[in-house]
Structure 1
Amino acid sequence: MNFRQFAFNNVLRKKRTYAAHFMSSAFAVMIFFIYAVLLYHPSLQGQLAASGDTASLLGTMGLKISQYFIFIFSFFFLLYSAGAFLKVRKREFGILMMLGMSDKQRNRLVFIENMIIGLVSILVGIGAGILFTKLFLLVSERLLMLEEGLPFYVPIQAVWTTAGAFLLLFLVISLLTSRVGKRHQLLELIKSDEKPREEPKASVWLSLLALVLLLAGYGMVFYFVLGRAFSLILLSTAIGCVVLGTYLLFTQLSVYAIRALKKKERLFFRKINLLTLSDLAYRMRDNANMFFMVATVTAVAFCGIGSCLAMGDPNLSEKENPYAFTYTSHSSNEDERNHLGQIEGRLTEGGFSYERGSAYFKYTDDGLAVAKLSDYNRLAEALGHEAETLSGPGEAIIASGVASRANKVTSFDPVAAIVPETANGGAAEVAVKKRTSSFIFSQYSDTLVVADELFDTLAEREIEGWEEPTYYYYVVDDWEKTLRIARELNESIPSSEDGQYFFDALALDWHKDKQLNGMLLIISVLVGVVFFTFAASFIYFRLYADLERDEKQYQMISKLGLSGKELNKLVTRQLTLMFFLPLAMAMIHSGVAFINIKLLVQFPMLGNAIGIYVSFFLIQLIYFFMIRWRYLRHMQLKLS
Structure 2
Amino acid sequence: MTFRQLASRNIWGNRHAYGSFFLSSVFAVTVFFVYAAFIFHPLILQGDVAGGAGTRLALIGCEYIIIVFSFFFIQYASSSFLKTRQKEFGMLCLFGFTRRQLRKLIVYENLLLGAAAILCGLAIGLLFSKLFFMVLSRLMDVANPIPFYWPWRAIALTAAGYLLLFLVIAAFSLRRVGRMEVAELLLASRKPKRAPAASPWLAALSAVCLGGGYAMAYTMSAGNLIFRILPIIGLVTVGTYFLFTQLSVALLKRLQRNRGISHRGTNLVVLSQLAYRIKDNARVLFLASIMCAVVVTSAGTLTVFMNATEDNVVGHNPQTLSFQQRGKPAKAADLNRIEEAVRAEGFSLAFKADVTGIAGSLKLPGVRELDDTAMLVSESAYNALAGHIQGLRPVKVEPGHAWFVYPYRDAAPALATAGAEAAFRTGERVLPLSMDGQRNGGIVQAIGPATYLVVLNDAQFAAQYKEAAGGSRVYAYGFEIRHWQKAEQAIERVRASLPDLKFASRLDEYKLTRQFSSLALFIAMFVSALFFLASGSLLFFKLFTELREEQTQFRSLMRIGISPKELGRILTAQIAILFFIPCAVGALHAAFAMIALGNVLDPARILSSASMVMGIYLALQTAYFLIARRSYARTVARDSGIRV
TM-score by length of 1: 0.89
- Report Cα offsets for 1:466-500 as digits up to 9, x if no partner: 64432112223432222444455556666x6xxxx
Q: Which amino acid aligns with 1:276?
A: V
Shift of 1:322: 3.0
Within the candidate set 382, 386, 389, 1:380 is matched to: 386
Partner of 1:447: 453
- After TM superposition, list the pairs within 5 Å mapping 1:47-86 onto structure 2: 50-51=50-51, 56-86=52-82
Query: Do the aligned residues in 1 keep the contact of 2:408 with 2:440 (CA within 8 Å)?
Result: no
Give the structure 2 partner of residue 240 of structure 1: 234
Per-residue deviation, residues 536-558 of structure 1 (Å, max 9, x unmatched)? 11011101000111111111111
Within 1, Cα distance between the matches of 2:249 and 2:533? 26
Structure 2, unaligned runs of 5 or more: 364-369
The verdict on how the C-alpha distance between 1:492 and 1:165 changes in structure 2, with shifts beyond 3 A counting, is farther
Counterpart mapping for 1:184-333 below 5 A: 184-225=180-221, 228-229=223-224, 231-232=226-227, 234-312=228-306, 313-331=309-327
Q: Deviations over 1:391-421 (max 9, x none)?
A: 8656654444338961256832267667899
Q: Which residue of 1 aligns with 2:408?
A: 402
C-alpha distance in structure 1 between counterparts of 2:505 and 2:50, whole Å: 17
Is contact 2:353-2:444 (8 Å) kept?
no
- Report if the CA contact (8 A) 2:444-2:476 is conserved: no
Contact 1:310 1:316 in 2 (8 A): no
Distance (Å, rounded) in 2 between the aligned partners of 1:416 and 1:518: 43
Q: Distance in 2 between matches of 1:404 and 1:562?
A: 61
Q: CA deviation at 1:37?
A: 2.2
What CA deviation, in whole Å up to 9, does each residue of 1:306-342 have, x standing for no partner?
A: 2322223312222333321221223458788437624
Unmatched 5+ residue regions in structure 1?
none
Residues 187-586 of structure 1 aligned to structure 2 (within 5 Å): 187-225=183-221, 228-229=223-224, 231-232=226-227, 234-312=228-306, 313-331=309-327, 337-338=333-334, 341-342=337-338, 345-346=341-342, 348-362=344-358, 363=360, 366=363, 369-384=375-390, 388=394, 390=396, 393=399, 396-402=402-408, 406-407=412-413, 411-413=417-419, 435-436=438-439, 439-443=442-446, 446-459=452-465, 467-487=472-492, 489=494, 501-586=501-586
| Number of matched pairs | 625
Match of 2:367 in 1: none
Partner secondary structure for residue 359 of structure 1: strand
**Are the counterparts in 2 of residues 403 and 445 from structure 1 also a CA contact under 8 Å?**
no
Q: Distance in 2 between matches of 1:40 and 1:491?
A: 37
Letter in 2 for 1:219: A
Superposed CA deviations along residues 368-392 of structure 1, whole A, max 9, x for unmatched, are: 5321223212212222567636486
**Does the C-alpha gap of structure 1 residues 111 and 257 become closer, same or farther in structure 2, counting only changes over 3 Å?**
same
Deviation of the 1:634 alpha carbon: 2.5
Whether the 8 Å contact between 2:423 and 2:433 is mirrored in structure 1 is: yes
Kindly indicate whether the alpha-carbon contact (under 8 Å) linking 1:268 and 1:277 is maintained by their aligned counterparts in 2. yes
DSSP-derived class of the 1:570 partner: helix
Residues 426-464 of structure 1: per-residue CA shift (max 9 Å, x gap): 988776556545543444865332333321210589799
SS at match of 1:225: coil
Please give the alpha-carbon distance, in whole angstroms, between the structure 2 residues aligned to 1:315 and 1:388: 20
Change (3 A) 1:602 1:581: same
Quote the offset at 1:631 in angstroms.
1.4
Aligned-residue Cα RMSD (Å) equals 3.1
Partner secondary structure for residue 97 of structure 2: coil
Deviations 1:8-64 (A, max 9, x none): 22222222221122111111101101111232334567788535xxxx444222211
- How far the C-alpha of 1:615 sits from its partner, in A, is 1.2
Task: Provide the C-alpha distance between the structure 2 equivalents of 1:385 and 1:121, rounded to a whole number of angstroms.
Answer: 54
Q: 1:621 — aligned with what? A: 622
SS of equivalent to 2:419:
coil
Quick check: 2:328–2:474 contact (8 Å CA) kept in 1?
Answer: no
Task: Tell me if structure 2 keeps the 8 A contact 1:406–1:600.
Answer: no
Measured in 2, the distance between the counterparts of 1:90 and 1:534 equals 24
Distance 1:152 1:547 in 2: 46
Paired residue type of 2:206: A
Give me the whole-angstrom Cα distance separating, in 1, the residues matched to 2:322 and 2:132: 36
Q: Is the 8 A contact 2:397 2:456 kept in 1?
A: no
Tell me the CA shift for residue 141 of structure 1.
3.5
- State how far apart, in whole Å, the 2-side matches of 1:489 and 1:614 are: 46
User: C-alpha deviations, 1:135-184, integer Å up to 9, x for none?
Assistant: 33343334334343334444222212211111111121122212322222
Letter in 1 for 2:128: F
Change (3 A) 1:584 1:455: same
1:87 is matched with 83
- Compared CA separation, residues 568 and 142, structure 1 to 2 (3 A): farther
AA aligned to 1:354 is A
Q: Is the 8 A contact 1:250 1:291 kept in 2?
A: yes
Q: What is the SS of the residue equivalent to 2:282?
A: helix
Greater alpha carbon shift after TM alignment, 216-225 vs 266-275? 216-225
Which amino acid counterpart does residue 65 of structure 2 have in structure 1? Answer: F
| Secondary structure at the counterpart of residue 369 of structure 1 | strand
Amino acid of the residue matched to residue 59 of structure 1?
A: T
User: Which deviates more, 621-630 or 602-611?
Assistant: 602-611
SS at match of 1:308: helix
Query: Following the alignment from structure 1 to structure 2, what is the Cα–Cα distance between the partners of residues 613 and 413?
Result: 45
Check if 1:634 corresponds to 2:630: no
Does the C-alpha gap of structure 1 residues 347 and 599 become closer, same or farther in structure 2, counting only changes over 3 Å? farther
**Percent of paired sites with the same residue:** 28
- Matched-pair contact (CA < 8 Å) for 2:87–2:186: yes
Q: Distance in 1 between matches of 2:48 and 2:231?
A: 36
Q: Which amino acid aligns with 1:531?
A: F
CA contact (8 A) 1:314 1:510 kept: yes
The answer as to 2:128 corresponding to 1:123 is no
What is residue 2 of structure 2 aligned with on the other side? 2
Taking the aligned partners of 2:294 and 2:538, their CA distance within structure 1 comes to: 18
Q: Which amino acid aligns with 2:388?
A: A
Match of 2:102 among 106, 110, 119: 106
Mapped partners of 1:420, 1:97: distance in 2: 91
Residue type at the aligned position of 1:614:
G
1:610 aligns with 2:615: no
Q: Is the 8 A contact 2:249 2:275 kept in 1?
A: yes
